[in-house]
Amino acid sequence: MAERVVVVGGDAAGMSAASQARRRRDDLDIVALERGPLVSYSACGIPYVVAGDIGSFDRLVARRAQEFRDRHRIDVRLRHEVMAVDLDGRELEVRDHDHGRTFRLGFDQLVAATGGKPRRPDLPGVDLAHVHGVQTVADGEALVAYADQVQAKRVVVVGGGYIGLEMAEAMIRRGAAVTVVEGGPEVLRALDLEMGHRVRAAMERIGIEVRVGVKVEGFEPASVHTSDGPLAADVVVLGTGVAPASELFTEAGVPGGVQGALRVDRRQHTPVPGVWAAGDCAESFHRVSQQPVHVPLGTVANKQGRVAGINLGGGYATFPGVVGTAVTKVCSLEVGHSGLNEAQAAEHGFMAEAATIESTVKAGYLDDAGTIAVRLVGERGTGRLLGGQIVGDQGAAKRIDVVATALTAGMRVADLIDLDLGYAPPFSSVWDPLQVAARALEKRL
């Protein structure tokens, strides 16, 4: 009988793994079980459908189940949920929701790719109809339908992280008044406070109300209770982060690590023979802090899934880890960061210095030259770059990729000064803002 690979979870990580395995081994029996009605869609695109940039949620679907069946001979089964994993018996208990039946399915190799689940705060009223998560396309559809139905005028977004900010923009562009409530001292905790403050100030200029240092205490049909009093709300959007959906496997005996994410080696193999894990349910390794981390992002899921698939198809590939890069935008404001911020560097025991500079995205003499603030963090003694943060106008955020690449290469801050970065007046000042920041930081180091 053919060796059977069962992939649990049909999004980026799972379908990448399945496709790569098929590419290398024609003989494998590959089954992909997906709890929901879709495979391989971009959850990151949900805010842009809600905002109206994209006409329909359908457009977020990269590839249909039938395409995987036809082109890759992957036996994709939708609305099939794995209820239990028997590692010793090498069997899964599978619930077929459409046909209301439960069956057992054996496997030789298993890929855990169940993704993440939105953190729903354990607060009174969190299950009320107007409180919406935005993890799946179904969540997005429910939010849009509800907002249309009640003609949402006042929206409260809980959480000032990336998802919270993107949803705040989406709802304000739908014409609602939006308040973002963040329990921490500033939005975007991935940034140092002074950079987060720039983001908040820009949000306020756009007309988004931001309450920092305010705890949400509960929900009622027309309002949100907070430590700072009640806020009126037709609709509440939860931007409270994503936890690994790994219990199915940890309960079966696959070891869990950071926040319960599945532990994997550099080939995406768990400590259990023949069991692989990839995507939001798995751990990553942070190349700067050199610690395991949980990074629920589509880029990481795709990379990990690819690596798992190559290996289980008999090839050799490794995932060397992340440097913690993320970018986002809130209306015209762009934000990017990579590596460790100053506070994180201190937490990890680095003796760090940081410098922030302001410059322009294009040559300063061009009339439409937007602004950009860059903050770099470096290590004392070695002079090594530890991280960077960018807040600015159009053309600002993707510059963080230079920081990500430099961090990957283990460059020193001084090395950034020497980089031969592209220059022409519509793209940069003659010293790229990253290099202006590197020069400022180098003086302190």
Q: Binding residues for a second copy, per CB under 8 A?
A: 12, 42, 44-45, 48, 53-55, 59-60, 162, 166, 287, 297-300, 302-303, 319-320, 322-329, 336, 338, 363, 365-367, 395, 397-402, 404-406, 408-409, 411, 415, 417-428, 430-432
Give the residue numbers marked as catalytic.
44
Distance CA 266, CA 278 (A): 11
The nearer residue to a second copy, 228 or 401, going by C-beta atoms, is 401
Q: How far is the CB of 367 from a second copy (least distance, A)?
A: 7
Among the listed residues 58, 237, 287, the one whose alpha carbon sits nearest the alpha carbon of residue 133: 237
What residues pair up with 231 in beta bridges, in sequence order?
A: 224
| Residues 164 and 172: beta-carbon distance below 8 Å | no
Which residue from 256, 309, 304 is spatially nearest to 284, judged by alpha carbons?
Answer: 304
Nearest CA to 282 out of 309, 248, 256 is that of 256
DSSP state, 261?
P
Q: Could you give the dihedral angle defined by the CA atoms of residues 136, 190, 338 and 208, in that order, rounded to the nearest 10 degrees?
A: 70
152: three-class secondary structure by DSSP? coil
Cβ closest to a second copy, residue 48 vs residue 276? 48
Those residues whose C-beta lies under 8 Å from the C-beta of residue 296, and which sit 6 or more positions away, are 115, 116, 242, 244, 280
CB of 163 to a second copy, least distance (A): 11
CB of 228 to a second copy, least distance (A): 30
Nearer to a second copy, 179 or 428 (CB): 428
Smallest separation (angstroms) from a second copy to the CB of 396: 10
Backbone angles phi, psi at 27, to 5 degrees: -85, -10
The least distance separating a second copy from the CB of residue 242, rounded to whole angstroms, comes to 15
Closer residue to a second copy in complex, CB, 244/388: 388
Closer Cβ to a second copy, 54 or 87, answer by number: 54
Minimum Å gap between C-beta 137 and a second copy is 12
CA distances from 22 to 16, 32, 100, 228, 275 (A): 10, 12, 30, 55, 17
354 versus 406: smaller Cβ distance to a second copy: 406
Q: Where are the extended beta strands (E) located within 216-370? A: 216-220, 223-226, 229-232, 235-238, 242-244, 275-277, 284-286, 291-293, 326-330, 333-339, 352-360
For 333, left (φ over 0), alpha (ψ -120 to 50), or beta? beta
Nearer to a second copy, 84 or 331 (CB): 331
How many CB atoms lie under 10 A from the CB of residue 273? 8
Q: Closest distance between a second copy and the C-beta of residue 106, in Å?
A: 33
